[in-house]
Amino acid sequence: MQSPPRPADDRPVISLRGAKASLGSRPVLRGIDLTVQRGEVVALLGANGSGKSTAVRAVVGQVPLTDGSLSLFGTDFKRFRDWSRIGYVPQRTTAAGGVPATVREVVSSGRLARSRFGLLRKADKEAIEHALALVGMDAHADVSVDALSGGQHQRVLIARALAVEPELLIMDEPMAGVDLANQEVLASALRAQVAAGSTVLLVLHELGPLEPLIDRAVVLRDGCVVHDGPPPEAVGQHALPGHDHVHPHAAHDAEPLRTGLLS
Amino acid sequence: MDILDYAFMQRALIAAALVGITAPAIGTYLVQRRQALMGDGLGHVAMTGVALGFVLQTSPVWMATLVAVVGAVGMELIRARGRTSGDVALAMLFYGGLASGVMIINLGGGQTASLLGSMFGSITTVATEDVTAMAILAAFVLAVAIGLRRQLFAVCQDEEFARVTGLPVRALNLLIAVTAAVTVTVAMRIVGLLLVSAMLVIPVAAAQRLTRSFATTLGLAMAISVTVSLTGTAATYYINVPSGATIVLLAIGVFMVLTALSAPLARRRAKAALAVEEVCTRDDVKV
């Protein structure tokens, strides 16, 4: 189902240069550089409020840059129209719609990146079913999304992005509020994507079960890049094998005790 | 069926069917993105159009459509900015529209009372040219609400994701607002501008007591709405009651009945879901 890789193209998939952005009057990104090459899996790490979420939202054009430049697949963002190459997983919205919708209906939205105003063809339906199977939600396709657990809901949002059959997956905190069993499902779905050649940029609170997949970590602090290289080594309790890091992530402003991971 | 012998009743029933089909068709999207009361605001704004139509001796339906569409575009621009002061701006727009309507009609030599038919709906006010106008407007509403259902669903369900698929989200949002405005004026004659929001929202709320998917909610809401619109309009022939109030109260009645029915249904579904889970767990253990 994965779209065949395009002919060799060594331009970076994402290139963010000197990017600045603010929310209201507060500067959130203060000039960051972020480059992601084809086939790389890059994790954006940092404490709450460090700007990591704003950075990925800027990459998909949802936060306007006040300075700096952005290009996707070698195309300046202003001229970029090739949305079917990107699968985006926004932070799980707490507000579900006011009308029930099934898992399949939500996942089908992903196909709009390819079909736009056209009809759903056979290939579209196959891609939707395939995406549902990838995250193990095929048995729940006709269930209302309101009836799902947080982890299942996150799997649905990832399936929606996978239904695009993208070359680049961009995920904002895909593991937030997801229990360990669901994290494993997500990690294996992601592993399959990476094996098939996908490029991935994801915001993480901690590396968790995705650690083996990550090629490079970019750590933000106060809107600046403070580390760009191999994933930081876990220290202390987190370094113990088999450590299950389970703590509530529900409230974003309720910052849990900082672990040694990022400092 | 002597009720169909009268031309005014024929027109009223056609109009009622058009209202019944169109109101929840666009209302479902408004409910989905929690703008259930947008129709109410548009109804207030449309009063200015009705008054202008009266004073200028032109069709109130078309004038109301024009003014409501302008109001809807204004509301969408306020919503898209997402300012905290948006609520206040909307209040200005709604009550400014209502007050202007009353002011214009009085300055134009009419009386506030002549707005009553438009406020609460009255089947005897449905003129032949109104039916034509309503049919054209209803066709537009259905073309948008049904023809673009996948796109509008995506925009109302998760606007940020929809933008990243490359859909023209701003244009689609404006289209939803304009379509809602058009629906309000379609419903004006039968249910009235002050009650119109009920028909955008209540059939949808009633339908979702039983449904799990967006598509069935949309379909069932339209079926409920057509049924209560036709029943309510027919009732006004036999008993002397205003159509708008009858239709809205019937819709609320359907909502209450379906709510009562939904509790046992939800219990049965929960039991079925639990049974599935048990089977899965046993399989997991075997593997």
**Residue at token pair 């961009």:** A170
Q: Using 50, 70 and 90 to split pLDDT, how confident is the model at B35?
A: confident
Residue B276 has pLDDT above 60, yes or no: no
Residue A133 has pLDDT above 70, yes or no: yes
Amino acid at A116: R
Q: How much is the pLDDT for A15?
A: 93
Residue A72 has pLDDT above 50, yes or no: yes
Q: Which among B31, B36, B161 has the least Cβ separation from residue A88? A: B161
Domains (ranges, CATH) in chain A? 10-91+219-263 (3.40.50), 97-168 (no CATH)
Q: How much is the pLDDT for A175?
A: 86
Give chain A positions within 8 Å (CB) of B208: 99-100
Q: What is the CATH number of the domain that holds B168?
A: 1.10.3470.10
Q: Length of chain A in residues, anyone?
A: 263
pLDDT tens figures, B244-259:
999 999 999 999 999 9
Asked if B31 reaches chain A (Cβ–Cβ under 8 Å), the answer is: yes
State phi, psi for B213 to the nearest 5 degrees: -115, 160
Which of B129, B113, B114, B115 shows the shortest CA–CA distance to B15? B129
pLDDT tens figures, B93-105:
889 999 999 999 9
Q: Which among A62, A99, A105 has the least Cβ separation from residue B163? A: A62
- In angstroms, the CA B91 to CA A29 distance is 36
For A152, other C-beta atoms within 10 Å of its C-beta total 20
Please state the rounded mean pLDDT for residues B207-236.
95
**B223 near A109, Cβ under 8 Å?**
no
Asked if A117 reaches chain B (Cβ–Cβ under 8 Å), the answer is: yes
Element (H, E) at B54: helix B38-56
Q: How much is the pLDDT for A258?
A: 42
CA gyration radius, chain A: 18
Q: Using 50, 70 and 90 to split pLDDT, how confident is the model at B224?
A: very high
Give chain A positions within 8 Å (CB) of B31: 98-99
3-class state of residue B281 by DSSP: helix
Q: How much is the pLDDT for A249?
A: 42
pLDDT tens figures, A18-65:
999 998 888 999 999 999 999 999 999 998 889 999 999 999 999 999
Give chain A positions within 8 Å (CB) of B175: none
For all residues of chain B together, what is the average pLDDT? 88
Is A109's CB within 8 Å of B163's CB?
no
Q: How much is the pLDDT for B122?
A: 82
Residue A246 has pLDDT above 50, yes or no: no
Asked if A171 reaches chain B (Cβ–Cβ under 8 Å), the answer is: no
Is A83's CB within 8 Å of B166's CB?
yes
Is B153's CB within 8 Å of A84's CB?
no
pLDDT tens figures, B121-175:
888 778 888 899 999 999 999 999 999 999 999 999 999 999 999 999 999 999 9
- In angstroms, the CA B287 to CA B284 distance is 5
Helices (H), ranges, chain A:
52-59, 103-108, 112-115, 122-134, 150-162, 180-195
Q: How many Cα atoms sit within 13 Å of B166 on the Cβ side? A: 20
Q: Using 50, 70 and 90 to split pLDDT, how confident is the model at B282?
A: very low
Asked if B277 reaches chain A (Cβ–Cβ under 8 Å), the answer is: no
Residue B195 Rama label (left phi>0; alpha psi -120 to 50; beta): alpha
pTM of structure: 0.87
State phi, psi for A64 to the nearest 5 degrees: -70, 140
Q: Using 50, 70 and 90 to split pLDDT, how confident is the model at B267?
A: confident
Residue A245 has pLDDT above 80, yes or no: no
Residue A201 has pLDDT above 90, yes or no: yes
Percent of all residues in chain B with a pLDDT value above 90, rounded to a whole number:
59
State both tokens at A106.
């939500």
Spatial CB neighbours of B27, under 8 Å, sequence gap ≥ 6: B39, B183, B199, B200, B201, B203, B204, B221
- In angstroms, the CA A168 to CA A101 distance is 27
Q: Provide the domain count of chain B.
A: 1
**Residue at token pair 């494993």:** A184
